[in-house]
Amino acid sequence: MNLDELVAIDVHTHAEVSSRGGGASLDDDLHQASSAYFKVDDAHRKPTLEEMAAFYRERRMAAVVFTVDAEHATGTPPVPNEEVAEAAAANPDVFIPFASIDPFRGRAGIRQARRLVEEYGVKGFKFHPNIQGFQPNDRLAYGLYEVIEELGAIALFHTGQTGIGAGVPGGGGIRLKYSNPMYVDDVAVDFPELKIILAHPSFPWQDEALSVATHKPTVHIDLSGWSPKYFPPQLVQYANTLLRDKVLFGSDYPVISPDRWLADFAKLPIKDEVRPKILKENAVRLLGLREDS
């Protein structure tokens, strides 16, 4: 990966289909609800990993890519973590592999996490408490956090409202309360060396997310899942000041295109010296992409 030539690093993209048959992030009902919420043409919603690599290579960007494993709650097997990691190994100029392990997998999940880091070079793990059906501070997940912290990997948590299940009766069984970032504050206390990313502007808990990120030195915020033109003013203010070294560009591709995100971000009153930090430099440091970072 030629870091100097990269325009940006997108720290939040989804592998939504497996090229090997089977495997998906969501069942059909939740997938369609998410597409409707984000106003995404479903025909363009499911790129393969190779198509994603070509998409980001054309834009001179790198992307953190992951699946979401919520099989216990949804019954839907995820895109295999190994497939994502192998795609990253085949496209090292553009892909940075993360994984996802359902906390309900217990000890088997803990063993899998260690193997994914040690054998496949995975750099982090995505948790989606709403879909996976757990509070981040539930002891159920603490074995996973322990091994992630030990191996120096990153824990990325969905926070705030989710479009998944929106408009479906009962929200498709998805409970929004699990994505309050204050639950992740407990994780940051109990695992003080664990590198954490709070994903998305955390509506309706934006102030809570800003509080946690300013208080806990290992906690960062990614800006994915929203067009920047909808960012609340306090998020922009903190990104420009107290959190200038802890805020990260993320799109949530394929539900939001990095092209749209960057075009809207260019219109925000972000300081000239802060803009490159958000787009690339903070991610380079957090992900350890330079030997001196």
pLDDT digits 0-9 by tens, 27-41: 566 556 555 655 665
Q: Where are the beta strands (DSSP E) in 82-177?
A: 95-99, 124-127, 154-158
Q: Let me know if domain 3-287 sits in CATH 3.20.20.140.
A: yes
pLDDT, position 26: 59
pLDDT, position 293: 47
Q: For 30-39, 42-51, 60-69, 70-79, which range has the lowest pLDDT when averaged over its residues?
A: 30-39
pLDDT band at residue 164, thresholds of 50, 70 and 90?
A: confident
Q: What is residue 61's three-state secondary structure?
A: strand
Helix then strand then coil, in percent of the chain rounded to 5, is 45, 15, 40
**What is the model's pTM?**
0.93
Tens digit of each residue's pLDDT (9 = 90 or more) over 105-146: 999 999 999 999 999 999 999 999 999 999 999 999 999 999
Please answer whether residues 220 and 197 qualify as being in contact, where contact means their C-beta atoms are separated by less than 8 angstroms.
Answer: yes
What residues contact residue 202 under an 8 Å CB cut-off, 6+ apart? Answer: 159, 160, 179, 180, 181, 208, 209
